[in-house]
Amino acid sequence: MATLDEYKPPPLPAPFTNTNPPPILLTQGAEAHLYKTTSLNPSTPAALKIRPTKPYRHPILDRRLTRSRIVQEARCLVKLVKEGVSVPAVLALDCEGQGGEEASWGGAWLLMEWIEGPVVRVVLEQWEAWMKAQIHLEETVRISEEDRVRGLMRRMGETIGALHKAGVVHGDLTTSNLMLQPFEGESEANDSVSMEGKIILIDFGLASQSAQDEDRAVDLYVMERAIGSTHPRTEPLFDSLLQGYRESYKGAVSALKRLEDVRLRGRKRSMLG
């Protein structure tokens, strides 16, 4: 895979071609490119998500897909901000793919509030590495460390519950799509990894409006599998996420019941290979 140094992203759409300093490319997924830039004034950071066109797709179909995903994402974010769910606010978007001078630019972009802090995947990876590096881990330390992770899991569950309560399912719940925004001016007296902060949900490219137990349970199942495969030491603490979820809204109990069916189906499928 090409590194970010070698990789040359497609030209930025206007007005981002002449911002000073220029946007910085942070990640480049299969579908979207994420930049850090500023909004209105140079001291207000913002996140710019660009969905470039895919040259191998039919241009009309491509434009329609790119456009509908960015609109869908923006629509969910606007609704969730209104409902008080922790997600980045929408600042601007272009789904027409005009791209200013670049007449041929058929992509779409979304400019949103910048969230400070790491994604939960990084927090858990660092914590697991820290735990592994402890040669003599006292039992009391191990318990208090696991309690901190349980607290984080619980807050994740509460945030996912708030999302579902608002009538939205995420569609791609992994630890890379949750961020941990540290509280301002606060630091823990701990040499391990900080778990303090507010959980913010990001990446609503696959989200949809749904209040069905099945869709909610699939969201939880995807998260459970993601933690099982990427964070082995955290997996036994996953029940704290479900506990936070259970206590966050009334419909949670039936979604959790459905989760048991989804797990069974998942297990059957993996047995069939």
Ligand X SMILES: Nc1ncnc2c1ncn2[C@@H]1O[C@H](COP(=O)(O)OP(=O)(O)OP(=O)(O)O)[C@@H](O)[C@H]1O
Give the closest residue to 197 by CA, choosing from 233, 156, 231: 156
Contact flag: residue 125 with ligand X (CB under 6 A): no
What is the Cα–Cα distance from 94 to 109, expressed in whole angstroms?
5
> Which of Mg ion, ligand X, none lies near 70, with the C-beta cut-off 5 to 8 A by kind?
none
**Residue 211 DSSP label:** -
3-state secondary structure of 148: helix
Question: CB of 37 within 8 A of CB of 46?
Answer: yes
Q: Give the x/- contact pattern for ligand X in 70-109, rule: CB under 6 A.
A: ------------------x---------------------
The pair phi, psi for residue 199, each rounded to 5°, is -80, 125
* Residue the block writes with tokens 């749904």: 210
Site for ligand X in 196-255 (CB under 6 A): 202-203, 205
Span from 111-119, 141-149, 221-229, 248-256 in contact with ligand X (CB under 6 A): 111-119
The pair phi, psi for residue 104, each rounded to 5°, is -85, -5
Contact flag: residue 175 with Mg ion (CB under 5 A): no
Number of residues that bind Mg ion (CB under 5 A): 2
Question: CB of 69 within 8 A of CB of 52?
Answer: no
> Which of Mg ion, ligand X, none lies near 112, with the C-beta cut-off 5 to 8 A by kind?
ligand X
Q: Give the x/- contact pattern for Mg ion in 177-216, rule: CB under 5 A.
A: x-------------------------x-------------
What does the block give as tokens for 115?
């969230």
Residues that bind ligand X (CB under 6 A): 26-27, 29, 31-32, 34, 47, 49, 88, 112-115, 119, 176-177, 202-203, 205
